[in-house]
Amino acid sequence: MFISYMKAENLKLKRTFARKMIGIVPLLTVAFSFIMNMEYFVYLTFNWWSILFMPMMIALFCALAHVREKQASNYNGIYSAPVDLRLVWLAKASVIALYSLASQLIFLVIMFLIEMVVPLFPVGPFPVIAACFLLWATTLWQIPFCLLLAKKFGFAVSLIVNLFGCLAFGIIAATKAYWWAWPWSWPIRAMSPTIGIHPNGLPLEEGDPLLSMTVIPIAIIISLLLFAVLLMISGKSFAFAVVQKSKQEVA
């Protein structure tokens, strides 16, 4: 049953820019870093991927999903259909999570293709693979968060808030002891011990405290917990909005 919900949500995004972003955004990230600085290519690529391109992509996925519903029937199609609204919301988040994962895999393939032609990895292949899946896991919470923002406040707010959270405070918080208290710093902080990169994009020196691997399980656990909590809260909010609208129409 839930698979049917996911198929429906995936179909809604079939002819939107969201599908194209899965490949375009990682390609732009790699190309941007390649042009900027060949010497620190891997460090810069993962840095830009975690602080700018990934949060932008996730916010756009969510915003485009909202815009699609608005353009189709202003959510009236969902409101009037005999469906479980919480499952609809969960399906939306799940499809975007799969899009994000697919984009990570494309990003990984591009990185390894470049490495085959021009060896640039300062670390082995395993840290690069681990970094991609860490970025995916530690940004999952942004999906229900941005979906809710887009639904309540629109396209622009979802994008601005997610980018602002990373660029304005995420980089700063990632170097502090309180990094765990600011969700946007989690993927940035997880890259330090995995790739050996400072949140400012430069390689870390041996012995740097940011290289401590203890932050990785913490980042994964709190991210998954926040993802579950936000998914539950946003799902209830979505279903509640429908109930309120139905009452208003009856009145």
Out of 129-133, 197-201, 239-243, least confident range: 239-243
Q: Find the mean pLDDT for residues 208-219.
A: 95
AA letter at 149: L
Question: How much is the pLDDT for 8?
Answer: 84
Report the alpha-carbon distance of residue 74 to residue 59 in Å, rounded.
Answer: 20
pLDDT in tens, 159-181: 999 999 999 889 999 999 999 99
Question: How much is the pLDDT for 201?
Answer: 87
Is the model's pLDDT at 3 over the cut of 90?
Answer: no
CA distances from 135 to 74, 99, 132, 225 (A): 33, 13, 5, 15
Nearest to 128 by CA among 113, 111, 114: 111
Beta partners for residue 203, in sequence order: 197
Residues near 191 by beta carbon (within 8 Å), at least 6 away in sequence: 46, 47, 50, 131, 134, 135, 197, 199
Is the model's pLDDT at 78 over the cut of 80?
Answer: no
Question: How much is the pLDDT for 251?
Answer: 46
Q: What is the pTM of this model?
A: 0.91
Could you tell me if 215 and 173 are in contact, meaning their C-beta atoms sit under 8 angstroms apart? no
Is the model's pLDDT at 246 over the cut of 60?
Answer: no
Instruction: Please report which confidence band the pLDDT of residue 112 belongs to, taking 50, 70 and 90 as the band edges.
Output: confident
Question: How much is the pLDDT for 250?
Answer: 41
